[in-house]
Amino acid sequence: MIVVSDMHFTYPSGKPALSGINLHIQKGEFVAIVGHNGSGKSTLARIIAGIERPGRGCCTVNGIDTRDKAKFLELRKTIGIVFQNPENQIVFEKVRDDMAFALRNLDLEQKAIDERIESVVKMMKIENFTDSFELSMGQKQRAAIAGVLAMQCECIVFDEPTAMLDPKGKKDIQGIITDLNKKGFTIVYVTNVIDEVLAADRIFILASGSIMHEFKRDALLDNVEKLKSFSLEMPMIMDIIVRLKERGIDVDASARTVSELVDSITNVGRNGA
């Protein structure tokens, strides 16, 4: 679905932001790209989404070279991006006008536009959202995701989509993204919050503009030292699992949520009784 080959990117200031990036992301996969501030995450997200062009090397999405101007519309129908600050994505005062604007670029008839909008606002449970600027941050982010869904893209890049949200807003958006992946959407999730990578199938560590390491989520426990070597914490749930194991409590290392962990401990207790 997404192939990035020996891709380099330098901003006009002359400072390289990305160098030698290689990525293969399969259709339907959920990958997380984790890295500290300034590691190049947003630059990579924008290049994958075709907003920025690679300086050297190339990036293709479903076989479309993101540099190919003639395929720009096709690319927009294939991959979308949701930014950290949803306000950067709002153009019109009315939520539905904002969604319609992007759809008009696809040369759709008004009826088809209206149908798409009603379908996604229902799916995102935002039927009652009217004024874009009168929404909370979390609501604006839901509207931004709905806007991308209305484009019927198969793949969505999320650049720190929960950074401006409160804990409930973060959970809501993470739940929505996980559900989208279950429905078949390919997800590229950029974050600097290690706990957020748990939803992904595969995790890439980005540092100083290069992919330094890659591993499957199920191998997270084996990659603790690697995370530490890039000054990344372990997800809290994994930290608890490691500490419990160190104390001889045999818990299910695949637990990803507090409930799963508690269930696993409770079952261990019952089995041992």
Could you tell me which of 63, 151, 149 has the C-alpha nearest to residue 107? 151
- Nearest distance, CB of residue 159 and ligand ATP, angstroms: 7
Sheet containing strand 30-34, strands side by side: 79-82, 155-159, 186-191, 30-34, 202-207, 210-216
Question: Torsions phi, psi of 186, nearest 5?
Answer: -85, 130
Using CB under 5 A as the binding rule, whether residue 208 contacts Mg ion is answered as: no
Q: Give the distance from CA 183 to its chain's centroid.
A: 15
Q: Cβ 112 to ligand ATP, closest distance in Å?
A: 36
| Residue 85 contact among Mg ion, ligand ATP, none, beta carbon within 5 to 8 Å by kind | none
Nearer to ligand ATP, 195 or 263 (CB): 195
Q: Shortest approach of ligand ATP to residue 145 CB, angstroms?
A: 19
Name the binder of 259 from Mg ion, ligand ATP, none, CB < 5-8 A by kind: none
Q: Rounded distance, CA 174 to CA 189, Å?
A: 10
* CB 2 to ligand ATP: min, Å: 17
Please give the residue whose beta carbon sits closest to Mg ion in the complex.
42
- Minimum CB separation of residue 37 from Mg ion in Å reads 7
Q: By C-beta, is 37 or 271 nearer to ligand ATP? A: 37
Which position among 5, 10, 19, 42 is part of the footprint of Mg ion (CB under 5 A)?
Answer: 42
Q: In the structure encoding, which two tokens stand for residue 146, read together?
A: 């709905």
Binding residues (CB under 6 A) for ligand ATP: these are 11, 13, 17, 35, 37-43, 192
With b for 16 or more beta-carbon neighbours within 10 A and e for fewer, the 9-47 pattern comes to beeeeeeebbbebebebeebbbbbbbbeeebbbbbbbbb
